[in-house]
Structure 1
Amino acid sequence: MFVAPPGYQPVYSPSIPYLGPVYGGLREGSSIYIQGSIPENITRFFMNLLCGQSESSDVSLHFNPRFDGWDKVVFNSRQDGSWKSEEKIRDMPFSKGKGFEMVVMVTSKGYQIKVNGKDFHTFKHRLPVERVCGIHIAGDVSIQTINVIGVRLQGSEDFSCLLWPVPYSNMIPGGMSPKRTIIIRGMVPNGANRMSINFMVSRSRDVAFHMNPRVREGIVVRNSKIGGNWGQEDRELSMNPFKEGQYFDVSSTDISTLVSQMSIRCGNQRFKVFVNGQHLFDFFHRLQSFSEIDMLEIEGDVQISYIQF
């Protein structure tokens, strides 16, 4: 069962050039997440945030990587048919023949660009961000996913209407069973401290599996709470995939196709957790009957864009 907030729908594997809407426009706190790959023979590509529905509309953000011997990324804006002054960053965050993960975060100062988890550049606002209502992508690039999170639906006063409210609590249809995977996609916002994902027994309120990323500490705590008592914490990890400004994807799809991917799978003896195709940890069942697990709760500093049971 796929459960998405009203009006929210990611774009998967669009043809290039791509011209599509941003329903409801952008605002401070919105984010655009793009996964793609760069061909070996790339020359250049661009992404424009449009203040209209056509390619000739005003451009609030022009993002234009150029592989021309003097590799650089050009930023600009266009108003009333005229391009304004360019900002040239003589650094290249993309690699030929490689995949990438790009996040455009709307802040009070401008568009903060992150590529593969690293800050790249902030382009200061030249046009009101509320005017943005379209995305145009063209050139030498292949796109797998476009997600716009935290926009406003027309006629709604709730600016977060395309995010699930957190804390989140819902029943798991049919409960947990071997080989079942829960899909959660979201983002750890800037300034986040901690969050938790709890697999629970609704009848007793026991927490069979508690996963608690603590962003500032750089750890992911795992535990259970049975009969009102917390058990022994598991803390050891080889890496921590939950960082400020990073998207995560809890999914049972082919984990080799996504840059930022986490998969939680229930087995007879344990929950198995993978991130980016690599095994992160196992959490062995502490309840005698894991089939009693029938509720999912999510709390803390996290934005959730969709959930699939």
Structure 2
Amino acid sequence: MRAARPPGPEGGGGDPVPLLKALAAVGGLSEGLGALGGIINATLERIEIFNLDMKTGDTLKVKGKISSDANGFSINLGCSFSDLGLHFNPRFDESVIVCNSRCSNAWQAEHRDKHFCFSRGSTVKFVIEMLADKFQIKLPDGHQVEFPNRHYYNKISYMSVKGDFRVTSFKLE
């Protein structure tokens, strides 16, 4: 079991060191900060992790608070920002969840799900499961969004969270 909490009493703050230390202790990793590969930014608006080590069959549980004036946020999983197996992007201005993938910096065909259960200012938890042929995202109300694993990834090393969502915890199982 691997879990982490962002720095500061509200989960924000611009100093990534407390988050790096928390992440280094995750899942019994004894190698310290080098075991994770690093984070290039861990602020309120953006978290970026390399060497996530998510494998087929693993589940990522994400909990956080949506900003009261949110336009949207995204959770990205892949090998790098230019190669994503899953771009999960709830958009408040359109009341839609957009899922997509990215290959060598080129976006592919969007999948739009009109089941929009997110509300501004709320605290939410959702679960992303990586399967051999698809990603399954369980939304806060129990509805499930499925998106194909177009790159047939069996391991995800990169994760980023961007936009109007403050991560309070995440766990990789």
TM-score class, shorter:
0.7 to 0.9
Q: Alignment partner for residue 295 of structure 1, among 154, 158, 170?
A: 158
Answering whether residue 84 of structure 2 is matched by residue 181 of structure 1, we say no
CA distance in structure 1 between the partners assigned to 2:137 and 2:124 by the alignment:
13
1:3 partner letter: A
- The alignment partner of 2:154 has SS state of helix
- 1:192 counterpart residue number: 70
Query: TM-score w.r.t. structure 2 length?
Result: 0.73
Paired residues of 2:124 and 2:140 also in contact (CA < 8 A) = no
1:231 alignment counterpart: 108
Summarize the Cα distance change of 1:5–1:228 in structure 2 as closer, same or farther, 3 Å threshold.
Answer: closer
Measure, in 1, the Cα distance between the counterparts of 2:104 and 2:12. Answer: 41
Q: Percent identity?
A: 25
RMSD: 2.8
TM-score w.r.t. the length of structure 1 is: 0.43
Contact 1:198 1:211 in 2 (8 A): yes
Q: State which structure, 1 or 2, has the greater radius of gyration over its C-alpha atoms.
A: 1
Instruction: Choose between structure 1 and 2: higher helix proportion.
Output: 2
Residues 6 and 235 (structure 1), Cα distance of their counterparts in 2 relative to 1, 3 Å cut: closer
Map 1:126-141 to 2 at 5 A. Answer: none
1:306/1:278 CA distance change after superposition, 3 Å: closer
Query: Aligned residue pairs: how many?
Result: 147
Give 1:298's aligned amino acid.
V
Q: Give a deviation string over 1:133-182, Cα, whole Å, max 9, x none.
A: xxxxxxxxxxxxxxxx4699xxxx99xx9995321101244x22222011
- The gaps in structure 1 that reach 5 residues or longer are 9-148, 250-261
Aligned mate of 1:169, from 41, 48, 57 = 48
Matches within 5 A, 1:1-309: 1-6=2-7, 149=10, 165-173=44-52, 175-202=53-80, 205-237=82-114, 239-249=115-125, 262-276=126-140, 278-288=142-152, 290-309=153-172
Tell me which of the two structures has the higher relative contact order, counting C-alpha pairs closer than 8 angstroms and 6 or more residues apart.
Answer: 2
